[in-house]
Chain A
Amino acid sequence: MKLSRHLRDNVRRLRAVYSDCSDVIFHELRIGGHTPAMLVFIEGMIMLEELDQQVIAPLRDGPGPGPSLEDVRSRTAVASIRTVSTLNELLDEIADGHPVLLVDGLEAALVYGLSHWEQRSVEEPTAESVLRGPREGFIESLRTNIAMLRRKIRSPKLKVITFRLGSQSRTPIAVIYMEGAAAPALVREVLSRLNRIEITDVLETAYIEEWIEDNRFSPFPQLLSTERPDVAASYLVEGHVVIMVEGTPTVLVAPATFFSLLQTPEDYYERYVVGTAIRWLRYFFFAISLLGPSLYVAVVTFHQEMIPTTLMLTMARSREQIPFTALMEAFLMETMFEALREAGARLPKQIGSAVSIVGALVIGQAAISAGIVSAPMVMVVAITGIASFMAPRYTIGIPIRLLRFPIMFLAGMMGLLGVILGVIAILIHLLQLRSFGVPYMSPLAPIQKHGLKDVLFRAPRWNLNRRS
């Protein structure tokens, strides 16, 4: 709806829209003591002092009647002034915390970029800490986040497209890419998927993640989420697209592959020999975190001849008094472990340590001495737990934690055959999965020789991007 020439009409409409909104301030003033005007803003979201000194004072004290749009504009000393001419635009600007000036006789409103509210300072992201490398993480402010990226990539080819999503929340969203690096088709696809979203509110990137991923039923994340500007920047340079949402420090990177989810920034900040070794350690323990308890259950209930004799006899002794089958035991312990982990994650830090102490005592010491759980099982669960903490991203750890249980069940039913069946089923799923058209398991399947340099090894920098 277009704005009216008459201030009275516009104010009436606005007051109707903002009825019962006590935080919306309507400040009446007369430009040059003559022309009626109305400043509309939301309390607490603006720089009040700046508004007083740079906008209200010059306008009130300036010369008399008949100001044109240009005239009013030039009288104030504010760097960012825009004009809007429809009511909806006006509402968005007010909601963003920009003071808006309506002047009688003008069909447009002036928007002053004087929004300001309390925000968290830039801190080290807790979920993705590194020993070497930048310690800054994204915060809740979209503007700050974009600026952080811009400080990493100073090229004008870094493009930022912003728009709003959510019929109620009207949340600003930014789609960021590198011109020339990102495939235009990919950028178009991301934008078109985002535009098709019908949603009332976007409070976190997860809200839109579920709308735009390729396979909505997969337990595996098909977008990479990160809180680190350096990670986002490196993906941008490689031609990925970054999606940011106002109000959350987590940004999305598309497309994501299985192996990109298993990388840490430190793979690249350490020297390549170390990076390669640590990467393989991570792959190994990733497999353990999926299969650890299942392999134990399978071997203990079906393939006792596979265990070296001495170990077998020791295990037989420790299992002698255990009332449960190995499968039951594994289910109990793994469920207990997941419960402990969840409890620890939700509690305040001070209480969290208490939980882990109680947990260690309960599921470790007491359960063994009471003869409810065998010592080897506690070890297996502990090793699996440590292995699952090695997943570099929380999002890739979750499906593994989930899938551990069905595989354990298969192992208890069919032994190693069941484990293999489970792994094959997961592999089939992973191989048919795509993220924005990119095969999830690439560059391993389909095989791309140059890509393997960053999967099987971490090739040295001077060789990493050479495509031959």
Chain B
Amino acid sequence: MIRKLLLVLVSTACLLPTAGCWNAKEVNDLAIITGAGIDLTEDGRIELSVEIYLTSPGGTESDGPMTGQPNGDKGTSVIRTVHGINMADAASRLQKMISRKVFWGQAEVFLFGERMARAGLEEPMDFMLRHTASRERSQVFVANGPAKDVLLLTPPVDRSLSDALVSMAEQQTGLNITMKELAQMMVGKSRAAVLPIVHIYPEKDLQDAFPYIAGMAVIKEGRMIGKLDEYTTRGVMWLRNEMKHATVTVKPDESGGYVSLHLLRNHTRLIPSIQGDRWIMTVRITGQDDIVENTSNLDLSEPDHLEQVEREMERFVEERVKLALDTAQKKLKVDIFGFADAFWRRYPKQWMANASRWDEIFPEMEVRLETDIRIARPGLIGKNFFPRQEQR
């Protein structure tokens, strides 16, 4: 027994140097990257800007040749910018410029500059998905302009810019696309993807400028080919089943006012069908809404009046969806709704046979809309208690 024990001890002791602590990294030796912006320079090089969280209370690191954040009152993060041939090159140069070990494991936000996005996302995406430390759950955006400009903003409310962008995306009033979703869309059957666009409001050099998310970038075959405005974006989100939180205001006919509805739960179902050589997509949108405000003369405790609002809401949704469909089918000719995947799942053989023709089929496809909106909770009061006299 003693001999056995000794044997175990000795063999463990022999193992120790082989294992060592080579992989160990203390937290105070890390440069924690919370967000990264990727731009393309004029001469075709990658410009990588990273937001590094300052763990030391003073923020002692000198600016040097790198672009430092103006020593603002918050000062919890610094921005470092490096150039390189590709992402890996830039990332390794970044390590040379930082005294600590670059740590990608907590990067929550990846921001592509517009020029980068237009040139193609495949190259940086390969690096980020291959990297063991970076998270697939980090959020991806496209900046309306250079990504670095957005990173240099100091959001007044949140801890860091990345934090601000993440919380904004998670409100789900705009798009919320993670690295994994982006990759899935890019390799999906339609090879098309959408990304939310980050704008700077009001102007980039102003002290109190802040980022906000509006509209979407349309990406086809890895390249950004267009932008959609906020209005069209909503329609795309309805189609992509991503509409979760929104307040919609409609004006029912002959009601003399507005009714506002809050989305409670929504579901969009894509039902593909092939009849002969006609490819048809039926989009079934069902939803339940709350009434949050009523300034019309409708009495919402009356089933008839409720139905009127429901029809109006359906019309509203269809209008938006049609706009999005028109833009995608006729203008951009790119399937950003995942129609291709729906067809492929339902009709794998036909899809395979016609896969190369998809770009021709999609713009000509007939899309049927079936909307069914119900009002779940009209609120505590039926009528508007305070009608204006002239509307009586």
Contact = CB atoms under 8 A, between A and B. Distances in A.
B251 interface: no
B1 A217 contact: yes
Interface of A: 216-217, 300-302, 304-305, 307, 309-310, 312-313, 315-317, 319-322, 325-326, 412-415, 418
Contact of B25 (A304, A312, A317): A304
Contacts of A216: 1
A312 B21 contact: no
Contacts of A412: 21, 24
Contact of A320 (B1, B34, B55, B106): B55
B322 to A, nearest CB: 40
Contacts of A320: 28, 55-57
Nearest to A409: B16
B103 A413 contact: no
Nearest to A300: B27
Nearest to A425: B8
Contacts of B5: 217
Interface size class of B (residues with CB under 8 A): 20 to 34
B133 interface: yes
Contacts of B20: 413
Contact of B103 (A304, A325, A418): A304
A315 B30 CA distance: 12
A429 B135 CA distance: 38
Contact of A304 (B16, B19, B105, B108): B105
A316 B34 CA distance: 13
A300 B105 CA distance: 12
B53 A304 contact: no
Most B CB contacts (10 A, CB to CB) among A309, A319, A321 go to: A309
20 contacts: A216-B1, A301-B21, A301-B24, A301-B26, A302-B24, A304-B25, A304-B30, A304-B32, A304-B103, A304-B105, A305-B135, A307-B106, A309-B108, A313-B34, A316-B28, A316-B30, A317-B57, A319-B26, A319-B55, A325-B24
B269 interface: no
B159 interface: yes
Contacts of A322: 28
B106 A312 contact: yes
A305 B105 contact: yes
Given A310-B163, A413-B24, 6 more contacts: A304-B32, A304-B105, A319-B26, A325-B26, A326-B27, A418-B19
Contacts of B34: 309, 313
Nearest to A312: B106
B391 interface: no
Nearest to B23: A302
Contacts of A415: 23-24
Given A304-B25, A325-B26, A309 B19 contact: no
Contacts of B55: 313, 316-317, 319-320
B164 to A, nearest CB: 13
A316 B55 CA distance: 6
B36 to A, nearest CB: 14
Nearest to A303: B105
Contacts of B135: 305
Interface in B49-82: 53, 55-57
A305 B32 CA distance: 10
A313 B158 CA distance: 14
A328 to B, nearest CB: 10
Given A217-B5, A412-B21, A413-B19, A312 B32 contact: yes
Interface of B: 1, 5, 16, 19-21, 23-28, 30, 32, 34, 53, 55-57, 103, 105-106, 108, 133, 135, 159, 163
A456 B311 CA distance: 56
A35 B106 CA distance: 100
Nearest to B4: A217
Nearest first, the 7 A-B pairs at minimum CB distance are A305-B105, A316-B55, A301-B24, A320-B55, A319-B27, A309-B106, A316-B27
Most B CB contacts (10 A, CB to CB) among A304, A319, A325, A326 go to: A304
A300 to B, nearest CB: 6
B106 A304 contact: yes
A425 B383 CA distance: 72
Nearest to A418: B19
B32 A313 contact: yes
Given A217-B1, A316-B32, A320-B55, A305 B133 contact: yes
B325 to A, nearest CB: 38
A313 B159 contact: yes
Nearest to B16: A413
A294 to B, nearest CB: 14
Contacts of A414: 19
A415 B135 CA distance: 19
Nearest to B58: A320
Nearest to A406: B12
B21 A304 contact: no
Contacts of A305: 105-106, 133, 135
B101 to A, nearest CB: 10
A211 B71 CA distance: 72
A415 B21 CA distance: 9
Nearest to B53: A313
Nearest to B134: A305
Contacts of B163: 309-310
B159 to A, nearest CB: 7
A181 to B, nearest CB: 34
A414 B19 CA distance: 7
A325 B25 CA distance: 9
A402 B57 CA distance: 38
Contacts of B30: 304, 316
A320 B57 CA distance: 8
A301 B159 contact: no
B53 A326 contact: no
A313 B52 CA distance: 11
Contacts of B16: 413
A319 B25 CA distance: 13
A309 B53 CA distance: 11
Contacts of B24: 301-302, 325, 412-413, 415
A219 B16 CA distance: 23
Contact of B27 (A309, A315, A418): A315
Contacts of A418: 19
A305 B104 CA distance: 8
Contact of B53 (A217, A302, A316, A321): A316
A310 B166 CA distance: 12
A325 B29 CA distance: 10
A321 B57 CA distance: 10
A325 B27 CA distance: 9
A412 B20 CA distance: 9
A429 to B, nearest CB: 11
Contacts of B1: 216-217
Contacts of A302: 23-25
B82 to A, nearest CB: 22
Nearest to A417: B19
Most A CB contacts (10 A, CB to CB) among B5, B56, B105 go to: B105
Contact of A319 (B28, B103, B108): B28
A305 B21 CA distance: 18
A317 B19 CA distance: 29
Contact of A301 (B25, B56, B57): B25
A321 B21 CA distance: 21
A456 B184 CA distance: 43
A321 B26 CA distance: 12
